[in-house]
Structure 1
């Protein structure tokens, strides 16, 4: 019988795990993990996916679209209204890079630690 793998967690490097977890908690509605601390914080959802945030000394934020510090990966979030979601996330602390490859179809934002993520029409 072949082995199967199920994605159960994604962990992001960052300078402040609690702050980044709070941003994504407000943005997604996922629940904070009770064992979160200054070194590692986490969120979990109904489907069992866990998103972790680990503190890294001398963290360097990705530079998007410049790859001098590569993004390495990014989240895509499906939303009903791009403008509304963008405005809400910017209020929560996200930033919007000047370069937007196809702003009518998706938006590229960066979280407070500099990780790029996309909003796509659902």
Structure 2
């Protein structure tokens, strides 16, 4: 045991808890914790806290319902972002593929820095308005 706290997951607020969980589940290839799957029997989906796991079964993200949240207006500071996530990809081709896929899933492009020689990236907003980056990490950790 290290003596330091260990990050369990990142929690994201959203008006539509299931909708945002589905976006990140699809974008990142995650799956729901047992019992958090969408109902299949026609019953209402009243989820207010959903946990997404990676293939090893580790928590990665949670989405919690927050009806009074206001989407950030990045790059404007009118409504500042409270957090953002960065996702790395290995190549520029992967960067383009994942940007297109994210947009197909409901993300919108906020900033294009894909031609940057040192660290090509896109800033996108998820369906709830939270900014996140897709980037090609080159050289430095």
Gaps of at least 5 residues in structure 1 are none
Q: Which structure has the larger Rg over C-alpha atoms?
A: 2
Match of 2:24, SS?
helix
8 Å Cα contact 2:51/2:59 also seen in 1 = no
Partner residue in 2 for 1:38: 47
1:1-122 matches, cutoff 5 A? 3-36=3-36, 37-45=46-54, 46=56, 48-79=58-89, 80=91, 81-97=94-110, 99-100=111-112, 102-104=113-115, 105-122=120-137
CA distance in 2, matches of 1:25, 1:2: 30
Change (3 A) 1:112 1:5: same
Post-superposition shift, 1:115? Answer: 0.4
Calculate the aligned-residue CA RMSD, in Å.
Answer: 1.9
8 Å Cα contact 2:86/2:133 also seen in 1 = yes
The number of equivalent residue pairs is: 120
Q: TM-score, normalised by structure 2?
A: 0.77
Q: TM-score, normalised by structure 1?
A: 0.88
Change (3 A) 1:111 1:34: same
